[in-house]
Chains A and B, each alone.
Chain A
Amino acid sequence: AQSVSQHNHHVILSEAASLELGCNYSYGGTVNLFWYVQYPGQHLQLLLKYFSGDPLVKGIKGFEAEFIKSKFSFNLRKPSVQWSDTAEYFCAVNPYSGGGADGLTFGKGTHLIIQP
């Protein structure tokens, strides 16, 4: 079974600071990788995804993530954060099984607070 580890449970940054949230997964096969964001009082929303191809993927709101296969990592980055980025961020994976429709395995989440 796969697992996902997010290294930082709480991160506090000032506006305009750069952000990097770590995510590592364990699974021996091909995986699809996702970052989801949950703003206060709202549902989980997709930030970006990686299926194949260019390991550097760009998502909404200036976020990007880099898939490093050798490190089993999929870290999320943003060069300059804004107060509105305050939210819970979840890394998630699901295996590419071909035949089935697989659920997501989530990390525990990182609570990001941006101070004005």
Chain B
Amino acid sequence: DAMVIQNPRYQVTQFGKPVTLSCSQTLNHNVMYWYQQKSSQAPKLLFHYYDKDFNNEADTPDNFQSRRPNTSFCFLDIRSPGLGDAAMYLCATSRKRGWGDSNQPQHFGDGTRLSIL
């Protein structure tokens, strides 16, 4: 009954080799988020899509990009991974009905653990 699905669960890539992480959802939520969580640290928001609008956090490195081809799917692209990018990457979704609506609780996937060789 997984509602936010992240693939793969574990990803290994080489230093500098582009990598793409995938997230899909069956909730029909209009907002999708990507978080980075390093060991023993809090999850940190990288960016989110509100419908088709992309919202980047000010301190997210340019190395990180995202695509949302449709409501159900969202991708995280790391163009040239460095050793410091090894982390758990979490995808989350929520529903925002419109201006004035509170930010509804987010639903999280299991995460993709990225290792860099």
Contacts and interface: CB of A to CB of B under 8 A. Distances in A.
A96 B103 contact: yes
Contacts of B110: 42-43
Contacts, number: 62
Contact of B105 (A4, A46, A103, A108): A46
Range for the number of chain A residues in contact with chain B? 20 to 34
Contacts of A102: 103
Contacts of A94: 103
Contacts of B92: 44, 104
Interface string B28-42: 001101010000111
B12 to A, nearest CB: 19
A90 B42 contact: yes
Given A32-B103, A90-B42, A101 B108 contact: no
B111 A101 contact: no
Contact of A96 (B44, B50, B102): B102
Given A101-B31, A103-B48, A108-B40, 7 more contacts: A4-B42, A43-B110, A44-B92, A49-B105, A103-B35, A106-B43, A109-B42
- Closest 8 A-B residue pairs measured CB to CB? A103-B45, A106-B42, A44-B108, A101-B50, A101-B31, A101-B96, A43-B110, A43-B108
Interface of B: 4, 30-31, 33, 35, 40-45, 48, 50, 55, 57, 90, 92, 94, 96, 99-100, 102-103, 105-111
